[in-house]
Amino acid sequence: MALDKDLASIQEARDLVAAAHQAWQSWRRASQQDVDRVCAAMAEAGYAEAERLGRLAHAETGFGVAAHKKLKNQFASRTVWESIRDLRTVGVLRHDQARKLYEIAWPMGVVAALVPSTNPTSTVLFKALICLKARNAVVFSPHPAAARCTAEAARVMAEAAAAAGAPRDLVGCITQISQQGTQALMTHRRTAVILATGGTPMVRAAHSTGKPAYGVGPGNVPVYVDRSADLQKAARYIVASKAFDHSTICATEQAVIADKPVADRLAELMRAEGAYFCDAGQTGALRRTVFHPDGSMNVAAVGRSAACVADLAGFAVPAGTRILVVPLSKVGRDEPLSHEKMTTVLGWYEADGWERGCEISMAVIEAGGLGHTQIIHATDEQVIMAFGLEKPVYRILVNTMGTLGAVGLTTGVMPSLTLGPGGLGGAITGDNVTAMHLVNIKRLAYELNAPPPEALVPGGSAAPAPASAASEAEIERAVRRAMDDILANR
């Protein structure tokens, strides 16, 4: 008897987790050399397929730009691998001689990885690498709008891993998509942790399962341009970043706050880069087009070109237009366009001085981007540090593109496509999530101090004579022998 779609999805999820858990029984005992060999092969396979997977993602979802998705796939494979290649994720990670403490890596198990439609292939490449580097197994749950390209990206990584010697079924992907199947994946007794990258409802569902979960949050990212900024660079970066993959990365700029003395010049330079500044009528049309009356975003506008979004709103823009800029005066519930816009529409505010720029930035963040990202273009270090100290976000980017800076391509933050918003944004971490977030740490701890005498006294009797303690040299020799035996058996 054929199962209903939801029942078939549930059964597939259960079967994939069971198979992944069985494969993990072997993989969790892998040596560091085996882990690194397999992950290197996966990274190269993902990089080699970056262009094809980018085209598949664009063709299936209609979101973004195929060439930009190729770049994201290259980043998610080779750049991510280079950032974690030298991490030790097996055996003893650290030894503190003074504290007589060993820290030992221990994998988590099966990871449930939720994948968004906006970054369906790059997210798979990235998560597969960090999961296996940490000696975990992973099962992906695609978004229904990106099921085929997500499954293909997972297949590429699974086959590369197996060809390099990893056990089969270490990387799996649900192909019969349903909410019930995803729920079964997240709540399965063999699922150890959830990596939730996607929209707010999906992330909330992950956090509600009772399982440990790394979630993301909305990125309503303000970019303040100070009077001390390199305006030409700022204009070039802001337009390019907002246009990149048609604004489908959560760290994309959502609102410019321009310092009044340089606002006109910045606008002029942004126009030269392909920004179209809308009038009041066009801005009103975009309010009604980009968002539904209930505040949710119109999927028809997500990840679309500026010309496409303008056409949906009922007006035309000149050839070469890359983004639509909407002048705004309000922030919050009364102004839909002050919220996150996963498309080529950028808010524009003006502020007289960095203090007012701070206030507007805070309002934009509080309207939907708590914990995520703030960008500043400036050369005045006092202003830069003021933004760094005061903003309730965990990534403050200076003189760079939001899209590529927050994920770690143009900055020194850890390369990642899962950007935690911390407790402010309802998540467990504010870090860029990577392999070490998927490693548990065991601690082997020797006695440093003898217990207080009264702790050893039974029922008020006199304290017994302390036992003779092993010498430091004896402890070291015993530990080294044990570690040599462990390594010899791997």
Tell me the catalytic residues: 250
Angle at the Cα of 154 (from 150 to 160), degrees rounded to 5?
150
Task: Give the 3-state secondary structure of 361-377.
Answer: HHHHHHCCCCEEEEEEE
Q: Which helix (H) or strand (E) holds 161?
A: helix 147-163
First to last CA, the chain: 46
Count of other CB atoms within 10 angstroms of residue 464: 10
d(CA 10, CA 187): 11
- Tokens, residue 322: 């890359």
Q: Residues 142, 143, 147, 152: what is their CA dihedral angle, to the nearest 10 degrees?
A: -40
Asked whether 351 and 222 are in contact (CB, 8 A), the reply is: no
CB 424 within 8 A of CB 396: no
- Residue pair 290/341 in contact (Cβ under 8 Å)? The answer is yes
The DSSP annotation for 410-472 comes to SSSSPP-S-B--TGGGTSS--SB--GGGGEEEEEEE---SPPPGGGG-STTPPPPPPPPPPPH
Measure the CA dihedral 430/432/435/440, to 10°.
-10
CB 364 within 8 A of CB 339: no
Task: Assess contact for 91 and 64: CB atoms under 8 A.
Answer: no
Residue 183 is encoded by which pair of tokens? 């729920």
| Environment class of 281 (CB within 10 Å of its CB; exposed 0-12, middle 13-18, buried 19+) | exposed
Q: How far apart are CA 328 and CA 346, in angstroms?
A: 10
